Amino acid sequence: MGNRHIEVSLVKRGVTATARLLADRAPLTCAAVWNALPLSGDVYHAKYARNEIYALFPPFAETEPPLENPTVTPVPGDLCYFSFAGTELATRAYGYDREVRPGTTLVDLAVFYERNNLLLNGDVGWVPGIVWGQITEGLTELADACNDLWRTGAAGETLAFRRA
């Protein structure tokens, strides 16, 4: 996979950051994401993990990647991959405006923009994520936009990932 980069954008806010894929640490996850790009979806701001935005997607890998390069304490600029069964996200507490059903799987691509994150969910416990990318340019501007999203709302905003 070499030294590949992607762009991470909050489309409505017109903010884009550049991230390097961590193919040496998470090769299967990086290949799955890279092959699925471009991806975009409604953005959500995390309730439990603190400084995280994410979008949900149908599964796009031939097989779900194993837990490579895992963390429960992501740092600013980390891009994380999570895979959830519908039963894990089927509570209204998450605020989704669409139906999330048992028997389905969702992929969560997350961006962490500030420190002091802890992937501990009150419903299911520890939720380790796969760190597959690291923002190398534009984190300050993206963090400002994420804070604005937290304060003013995510409705109508899109989180997009595309090859750089």
Tens place of pLDDT per residue across the chain (164 aa): 669 999 999 999 999 999 999 999 999 999 999 999 999 999 999 987 899 999 999 999 999 999 999 999 999 999 999 998 766 666 655 555 556 666 668 899 999 999 999 998 877 789 999 999 999 999 999 999 999 999 999 999 999 999 99
Check: CB of residue 100 under 8 Å from CB of residue 86. Answer: yes
Check: CB of residue 40 under 8 Å from CB of residue 55. Answer: yes
The answer to whether the predicted template modeling score (pTM) of the entire model surpasses 0.85 is yes
Give a three-class secondary structure readout of the chain.
Answer: CCCCEEEEEECCCCEEEEEEECCCCCHHHHHHHHHHCCEEEECEECCCCCCEEEEEECCCCCCCCCCCCEECCCCCCEEEEEEEEHHHCCCHHHCCCCCCCCCCEEEEEEEECCCCCCCEECCCEECCEEEEEEEEECHHHHHHHHHHHHHHCCCCCEEEEEEC
Reply yes or no on domain 5-163 having CATH 2.40.100.20. Answer: yes
